[in-house]
């Protein structure tokens, strides 16, 4: 096995850079690769990335006013031409996806995004990506260089290397793209009120819940269980009863809780892909043929409005 | 304004057949328009209705995409014309190939001001094609767009949602935008539109028609398998609601998850 010679990691988010460096180290099992990080930020960001124990840092210290941070892609492209990395790892955020696609187009290659697992073989890199709403996984080998992949948050450890030798820091001048949009305004979203990914127990509501007022009932159950409330997409995007960050599924959260209780959830793949890592799955649905029962450990085929009060009571007496 | 909306037509993920050895088959799956792409079509149609212009739907893929039911479905939702670029080599095409063919088709149409995409394809969900097409066309391209308004001739104002912020952005046309799945609710076609759909033009182009001789793959597909799944017990608890709940709680206690 020959390790890739140079690995470049890119993210607008300094902590995610830490995780990507963790991923890059996995590719560097023989310790022969040079790992470089691109930092779009000031000296403190550079110091933080240096603490992750990286070999080189390319700093783009300022993105001009009115530009999107994604406009660094042209500067990156120039760097890629000069530095010729074998592998480029990009943080799978909205910004990362845009940068990734622009680079892929210019380099005439396909990026493999949201990579779940990867390995470096003598004939190149093999990576796994989820397809068909989680129904299948595809193992792929990119045929062109460099290999461009994006990796989602939370898959690799951030390692702070004590007394890391100071990396070489090179400042890159920002190259302005010819065609560009103008950022007029930005607003911070309210801080995310829930972290479903780390929740121990989750009670998930589906369209079987008839009225928004009934959420109070479910809150009682969640309180008794010490559970977070989640939902299927229609309750959030369609009805707007719950915020976006509370829906589970392909375009929502992937949970890893000990317990998932679905109330009036039918069990379509786009939703259940987000619960496959839950330890115990419970489903309550009045339709005995609902697909969720096949994917559950325990099922009750009954009206959730009868089950809810009984369940709250039973748990109170535990 | 001439608007192109790109739609992925692919086997419905609901119809996958998983073998006991983890093999995955789409042989009996119905081909449908990707669910993420319908909001993009609706966005385009609303813009054209409000400001004048026409929407051309565009899809590239293997011969399976050219089915009368799918054609009608697309054209009854407000697109005035459908262009399909069909070639067997587009089966399992990766994003670079798909983006290259879409770009060539858009260039052939000429005079297009806006290209819209969904947030990802329903089958592969790389979330890359829209962004790549914009860049290949040499236009501005954005993802995660949640609102699109025409400001002045040749300028859009869009809202973009990131993980922690909302951006308001001025976009010069021509542009390629990938929209979020909650940008708007796709319409249900009316009877009148369904009847009208069969009279709208459908063009089928070959790769040669868009000036592409051959399409070298950028990625080799080594295997497609169902991911390893935790085996589920699938125990249906019988009896009255009270009994079922009592049983459930005792099971959950035993599992140590209460
Ligand atoms: C491209 C695409 C992406 C998607 N992404 C996601 C995603 O990320 N997350 C997601 O969740 N969905 C997603 N969806 C939607 C998904 O396909 C389903 O439509 C959705 O998950 C269904 O939600 P539901 O189970 O709440 O509603 P339904 O499917 O309508 O099911 C409601 C269930 O409640 C039961 N019920 C009704 N009343 C009662 C009662 N009184 N007591 C007990 N049971 C009752 C019914 O029997 C039924 O089974 C996506 C769809 C598409 C096309």
* A93 and A234 inside one domain: no
**What is the domain-level CATH number for residue A37?**
3.40.50.620
**What is the domain-level CATH number for residue A259?**
3.40.50.1220
Does A177 reside within a domain? no
CB within 8 Å: A188 and B165: yes
Chain B residues inside the 8 Å CB shell of A148: none
Q: What's the domain count of chain A?
A: 2
Among chain B residues, the shortest Cα distance to A131 is held by B124
Q: CB distance from B173 to chain A under 8 Å?
A: no
Q: Whole-angstrom Cα distance, residue B45 to residue A291?
A: 35
Among chain B residues, the shortest Cα distance to A192 is held by B164
Among chain B residues, the shortest Cα distance to A294 is held by B234
Q: In the prediction, which pLDDT does A1 show?
A: 43
Instruction: Convert the pLDDT of each residue in B11-65 to its tens digit.
Output: 999 899 999 899 999 999 999 999 999 999 999 999 999 999 999 999 999 999 9
* A149 and A210 inside one domain: no
Does A196 reside within a domain? no
* A219 and A118 inside one domain: no
**pLDDT: is B205 or B19 the higher one?**
B205
CB within 8 Å: A138 and B182: no
Give residue A4's pLDDT band: very low, low, confident or very high (50, 70, 90). confident
Instruction: Convert the pLDDT of each residue in B134-186 to its tens digit.
Output: 999 999 999 999 999 999 889 999 999 998 899 999 999 999 999 999 999 99
A71 SS3 class? helix
Does the beta carbon of A252 sit less than 6 angstroms from any atom of ligand 1?
yes
Does A52 reside within a domain? yes
Nearest chain B CA: its distance from A308 CA (Å): 9
Preferred mutation among B176, B179, B232, B233 to probe A, highest tally of A CBs within 10 A: B232
Does A248 reside within a domain? yes
* A167 and A208 inside one domain: no
**Partners of residue B161 on adjacent β-strands:** B166
* A165 and A213 inside one domain: no
Does the beta carbon of A269 sit less than 6 angstroms from any atom of ligand 1?
no
Q: In terms of CATH architecture, what is B2-210?
A: 3-Layer(aba) Sandwich (3.40)
Q: Whole-angstrom Cα distance, residue A50 to residue B146?
A: 36
Ligand 1 atom, smallest distance to B34 CA: 1
Q: Which of A17-21, A94-98, A236-240 has the lowest mean pLDDT?
A: A236-240
ipTM: 0.94
Residue A138 pLDDT > 70, yes or no? yes
* A207 and A304 inside one domain: yes
Q: Which two tokens stand for residue A123?
A: 């004939």
* A31 and A139 inside one domain: yes
Q: Which of A317, A261, A252, A313 is nearest to A292 (CA)?
A: A261
Does A79 reside within a domain? yes
* pTM for this model (two decimals): 0.90
For residues B117 and B40, the answer to whether their CB atoms sit within 8 Å is: yes
What domain range is A160 assigned to?
3-171
CB within 8 Å: A310 and B241: yes
Cα B199-B205-B209 angle, rounded to 5 deg: 140
Nearest chain B CA: its distance from A165 CA (Å): 33
Does A184 reside within a domain? no
- DSSP state letter for A3: -
Closest residue to A259, CB basis, from B126, B233, B252: B252
* A66 and A159 inside one domain: yes
Instruction: Provide the number of CB pairs (under 8 Å) joining chain A to chain B.
Output: 258
**Partners of residue A263 on adjacent β-strands:** A205, A284
For residues B102 and B113, the answer to whether their CB atoms sit within 8 Å is: no
**Partners of residue B44 on adjacent β-strands:** none
* A152 and A60 inside one domain: yes
* A145 and A212 inside one domain: no
Specify burial of residue A61 (Cβ count, 10 A radius: 0-12, 13-18, 19+).
middle
Domain boundaries, chain B: 2-210, 230-258
- DSSP state letter for A133: G
* A164 and A216 inside one domain: no
- Going from the Cα of A287 to the center of ligand 1, the distance in angstroms, rounded, reads 13
* A206 and A166 inside one domain: no
A118 SS3 class? strand
């Amino acid at each position: 096995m020959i390790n890739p010679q140079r690995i470049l990691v890119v993210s607008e988010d300094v902590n995610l850079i830490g995780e990507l460096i963790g991923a890059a180290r996995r590719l560097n099992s023989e310790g022969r690769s040079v790992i470089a990080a691109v930092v779009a930020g000031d000296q403190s960001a550079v110091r933080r990335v240096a603490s992750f124990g990286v070999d080189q840092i390319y700093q783009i210290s300022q993105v001009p006013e009115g530009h999107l941070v994604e406009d660094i892609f042209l500067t990156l492209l120039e760097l890629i031409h000069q530095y010729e990395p074998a592998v480029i790892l990009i943080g799978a955020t909205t910004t990362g996806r845009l940068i990734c696609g622009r680079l892929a187009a210019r380099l005439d290659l396909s990026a493999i995004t949201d990579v779940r697992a990867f390995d470096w073989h003598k004939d190149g890199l093999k990576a796994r990506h989820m397809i068909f709403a989680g129904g299948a996984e595809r193992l792929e080998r990119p045929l062109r260089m460099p290999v461009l992949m994006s990796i989602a948050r939370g898959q690799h450890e951030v390692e702070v290397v004590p007394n890391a030798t100071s990396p070489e820091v090179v400042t890159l001048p920002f190259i302005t793209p010819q065609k560009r949009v103008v950022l007029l305004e930005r607003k911070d979203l309210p801080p995310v009120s829930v972290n479903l990914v780390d929740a121990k127990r989750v009670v998930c509501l589906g369209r079987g819940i008839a009225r928004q007022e009934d959420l109070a009932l479910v809150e009682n159950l969640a309180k008794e269980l010490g559970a977070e409330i989640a939902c299927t997409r229609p309750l959030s995007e369609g009805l707007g009863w719950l915020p976006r960050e509370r829906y589970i599924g392909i375009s929502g959260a992937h949970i890893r809780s000990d317990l998932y209780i679905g109330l009036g959830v039918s069990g379509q793949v786009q939703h259940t892909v987000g619960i496959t890592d839950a330890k115990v799955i419970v489903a309550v649905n009045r339709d005995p043929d609902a697909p969720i029962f096949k994917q559950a450990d325990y099922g009750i085929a009954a009206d959730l409005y009868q089950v809810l009060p009984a369940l709250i009571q039973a748990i109170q007496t535990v | 304004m001439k608007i192109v909306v790109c739609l992925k037509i692919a086997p419905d993920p609901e119809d996958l057949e998983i073998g006991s050895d983890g093999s995955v088959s789409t042989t009996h799956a119905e081909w449908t328009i990707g669910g993420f792409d319908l909001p993009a079509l609706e966005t385009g149609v609303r813009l054209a209705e409000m400001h004048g212009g026409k929407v051309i739907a565009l899809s590239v893929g293997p011969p399976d995409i050219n089915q009368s039911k799918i054609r009608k479905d697309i054209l009854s939702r407000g697109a005035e014309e459908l262009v399909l670029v069909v070639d067997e080599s587009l089966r399992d095409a990766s994003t670079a190939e798909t983006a290259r063919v879409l770009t060539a088709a858009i260039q052939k149409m000429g005079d297009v001001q806006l290209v819209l995409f969904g947030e990802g394809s329903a089958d592969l969900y790389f979330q890359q094609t829209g962004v790549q097409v914009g860049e290949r066309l040499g236009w501005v391209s954005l993802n995660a767009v949640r609102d699109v308004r025409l400001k002045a001739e040749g300028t859009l104002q869009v809202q973009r949602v990131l993980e922690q912020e909302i951006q308001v952005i001025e976009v010069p046309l021509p542009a390629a935008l990938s929209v979020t799945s909650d940008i708007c609710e796709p319409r249900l076609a009316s009877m009148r539109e369904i009847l009208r759909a069969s009279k709208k033009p459908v063009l089928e182009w070959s790769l040669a028609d868009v000036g592409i001789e051959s399409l070298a793959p950028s990625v080799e597909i080594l295997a497609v398998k169902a991911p390893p799944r935790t085996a589920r017990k699938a125990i249906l608890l019988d009896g009255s609601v009270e009994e079922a709940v009592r049983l459930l709680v005792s099971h959950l206690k035993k599992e140590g998850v209460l």
